[in-house]
Amino acid sequence: MAMVQPIATRRSATGIPTGKLAMWWLLGSEITIFGGLLMSYIMMRIMYAPWAEAAAHTNTLAGSINTFVLLTSSLFAVLAHHAAEQKNGKLAAFYLWLTIGGALTFLVVKGIEWTNEIRHGFTITANTFWSFYYTAAGLHGLHVIAGATAMAIVSFDCLRGKNLQRVELVGIYWHFVDIVWIFLFPLLYIAK
Amino acid sequence: MSQAADAHHGHLNSAGEHGPHHPASYYVKIWALLLVLLVISIAGPMLGNKVLTLITAFGIAVVKALIVAAFFMHLNVEKKFVWYMLFAMLLAVVMFFLGTAADVMKYDGSHWTKPSSYLYTEEFKKAFSGGEEHEGHGSDEFDSKALPNVPYGETESHKAHGSHETEGHGLPAAEPRHGT
């Protein structure tokens, strides 16, 4: 078989593999998106005392369970990366599916939580706090869905031992989703 | 060398070598530490001390985020370039905050005011306190219908003055927040 030179596997300027470099740039842009959202929340939360009263109605138990779920799924994601480094594609796929399980659990808990809140009249149009709440948690939820989808695609390659380097990339993305929640959790559920 | 195998060089770290190969138990220990921090952040507010709550909630959030970034995302062995890029983005967020906070975090200035802010606060207060308009509601009860949904520039005082620009005269007759 002739030697195949991958296209732009590495960037000469940074020495970072192209895929990983792209992932870091993606996360860089995500920092400004979520950072702006969180900074807006902090400003409004400090400015308007009633936001604290509205925040008192969020479900701390649901938030805590979801934090635990995401932290645990992050562990599975890094274990998937660990398995991929050892070129064990099947084990990597297994851990990726456990991570996806965490994502689904997160979404189910979120669904139950939101249903309960909406039933009590806390809808997205109730006031600006709840508008923010659903926007921030909803945007984060979309990232959870995107991460789970990407991991599912990568996992099928893993089963065939292909493109194992992508496990690290989806893992980095997933850890970022976890970090965003780590900041959303105290803002929305703890600081009351 | 196959393409897949060559691409596998993506695991090379910043030094051009393979990163540290920790056993799986190493990551489990970090996860356990994160769970301990999670428990502390949940238990913090139960002590009822506001300063302590801020420390346990946000201080621990920062620590947890750094632990995940350093050990799960392997930023501890990543090239400095990535750190610089991420910090540049964080700096952009700080600039966004500083650029807007000067306006957003004030109710009034020497020649301007935000009457809708006062209205918002006042109406919100009524929604919770169960004022005359909301007989029968306890202080713990929440009536989302009583909450205002008035965007800036559409308050009664704005309509009365016809313009959001007050230019130092004809300021809307709004109660200062401190008095509400």
Has residue A95 got a pLDDT over 80? yes
Chain A residues in contact with B127 by the CB 8 A cut-off are 50
Specify whether B28 is located in the same domain as B54. Answer: yes
ipTM: 0.91
Domains and CATH numbers, chain A: 19-190 (1.20.120.80)
CB of B41 closer than 8 Å to CB of A187: no
Name residues whose C-beta falls within 8 Å of residue A185's C-beta, 6 or more positions apart in sequence.
A63, A64, A66, A67, B41, B61
pTM listed for this prediction? 0.78
b/e for A74-102, b at 16 or more Cβ within 10 A?
bbbbbbbbbbbbeebbebbbbbbbbbbeb
Specify whether B76 is located in the same domain as B144. Answer: no
Name residues whose C-beta falls within 8 Å of residue A51's C-beta, 6 or more positions apart in sequence.
A44, A45, A128, A129
Contact B105 A164 (CB under 8 A): no
In the listed set B101, B134, B149, which residue is the last one of a domain according to the structure?
Answer: B101
Q: In the 8-state DSSP scheme, what is residue A31? A: H
Has residue A192 got a pLDDT over 60? yes
B177, B160, B50, B80: which is closest to A15 by C-alpha?
B80
So what's the pLDDT on residue A104? 98
Q: What distance, in Å, lies between the first and last C-alpha atoms of chain B?
A: 74
Q: Which of B2, B11, B54 sits opposite A168 (nearest CB)?
A: B11
Which of A27, A30, A75, A76 to probe the B interface (max B CBs under 10 A)?
A75
So what's the pLDDT on residue B123? 61
Domain holding B68, by residue range, is 3-101
- CA torsion angle A51 A54 A56 A61 (round to 10): -110
**In the predicted model, what is the mean pLDDT of residues A78-86?**
95
Contact A78 B27 (CB under 8 A): yes
So what's the pLDDT on residue A120? 93
Specify whether B51 is located in the same domain as B13. Answer: yes
Specify whether B130 is located in the same domain as B96. Answer: no
CB atoms within 10 A of CB A185: 23
pLDDT digits (tens, 9 = 90+) for A138-150: 999 999 999 999 9
pLDDT digits (tens, 9 = 90+) for A3-33: 565 555 666 678 888 899 999 999 999 999 9
Specify whether B9 is located in the same domain as B69. Answer: yes
So what's the pLDDT on residue B105? 81
Chain A residues in contact with B147 by the CB 8 A cut-off are 126-127
What are the residue ranges in chain B where pLDDT is below 70?
1-20, 115-180
* Residue B108 within any structural domain of the chain: no
Average pLDDT, chain A: 92
Contact A31 B42 (CB under 8 A): no
Rounded Cα distance, B82 and B80, in Å: 5
Nearest CA in chain B to A77: B72
* Residue B110 within any structural domain of the chain: no
Amino acid at site B11? H
CB of A77 closer than 8 Å to CB of A174: yes
pLDDT digits (tens, 9 = 90+) for A42-80: 988 888 777 878 888 999 999 999 999 999 999 999 999
Specify whether B75 is located in the same domain as B129. Answer: no
Has residue A162 got a pLDDT over 80? yes
Chain B residues in contact with A37 by the CB 8 A cut-off are none
Contact B68 A75 (CB under 8 A): no
Specify whether B28 is located in the same domain as B69. Answer: yes
Rounded Cα distance, B41 and A109, in Å: 20
Q: Which of A31, A67, A169 sits opposite B38 (nearest CB)?
A: A67
Specify whether B40 is located in the same domain as B128. Answer: no
Q: In the 8-state DSSP scheme, what is residue B20? A: P
